[in-house]
Amino acid sequence: MSRFPQARFLVSAAAPGQFPPDLGAELAFAGRSNAGKSSAINALVGRHGLARTSKLPGRTRLLNFFELTPGQRLVDLPGYGYASAPEAERSKWLPLIDALKRRECLRGLFLIVDVRRGVTAGDEGLLDWVAPGQRLHVLLTKADKLGRGEALKALRTATAQLAGRASVQLFSSIDGTGLAEAQGVLREWLG
């Protein structure tokens, strides 16, 4: 069943002037390319294919806004981690995410991390990104790829590494591990 039956793609923003009005509540989603961010958004919203928009050519360096209900939005940040991303491109989207962080409506950040890779130096940069009053929740996704023991070990490692800076949980878009827990956080933060 779709959790947000009215969810819809709003806009791809290439400049802060194209962001939706700074009203209501917004949650940002970030992660290394291929970590499973689009799949996580689709699973959380309950709408297969919703976040596919971000994969269209030319949109990969833009901020994609989705409306869940009027006044509740998700923002899909560009995937990072490709060393080949040209400096010119990076210099375009860094001011974008800086502007996003300053929005009154931004409640926090969901950071998507492949459980097999764990929290990396690239992810650490985003831990410092959130402003005071904004919260951070880490989804260790693709948990279905590990056995239960290995997954719990990865959870303990990430919890120690994050040291209270973020809440963290196991997640899988494939088998639904941690889905209810993550939806609970999303609803609470947007609510």
Rounded Cα distance, 23 and 33, in Å: 29
Cβ atoms of residues 180 and 169 within 8 Å: no
Cβ atoms of residues 27 and 77 within 8 Å: no
Contacting residues for 90 by C-beta, under 8 A, at least 6 apart: none
Among 90, 150, 174, 176, binds ligand GDP (CB under 6 A): 174
Cβ atoms of residues 40 and 170 within 8 Å: no
Our CA angle for 91, 72, 35, nearest 5°, is 50
The yes or no reply on residue 120 touching ligand GDP (CB under 6 A) is no
- Considering the complex, state which of residue 36 and residue 108 has its C-beta at the smaller distance from ligand GDP: 36
Q: List residues bridging with 63 in a β-sheet.
A: 13
Q: How far is the CB of 38 from ligand GDP (least distance, A)?
A: 3
The yes or no reply on residue 181 touching ligand GDP (CB under 6 A) is no
Q: Which of residues 54-113 bind ligand GDP (CB under 6 A)?
A: 79
The yes or no reply on residue 178 touching ligand GDP (CB under 6 A) is no
Q: List residues bridging with 135 in a β-sheet.
A: 108
Which of 9-17, 33-41, 85-93, 100-108 is the region at the interface with ligand GDP (rule: CB under 6 A)? Answer: 33-41
- Considering the complex, state which of residue 36 and residue 105 has its C-beta at the smaller distance from ligand GDP: 36
Size of the site for ligand GDP (CB under 6 A): 16
Q: Which of residues 124-153 bind ligand GDP (CB under 6 A)?
A: 141-142, 144-145
The yes or no reply on residue 33 touching ligand GDP (CB under 6 A) is yes
The yes or no reply on residue 173 touching ligand GDP (CB under 6 A) is yes
> CA distances (Å), 175 to each of 43, 72, 144, in order?
10, 26, 7
Which residues in this chain contact ligand GDP in the complex, by CB under 6 A? 31, 33-39, 79, 141-142, 144-145, 172-174
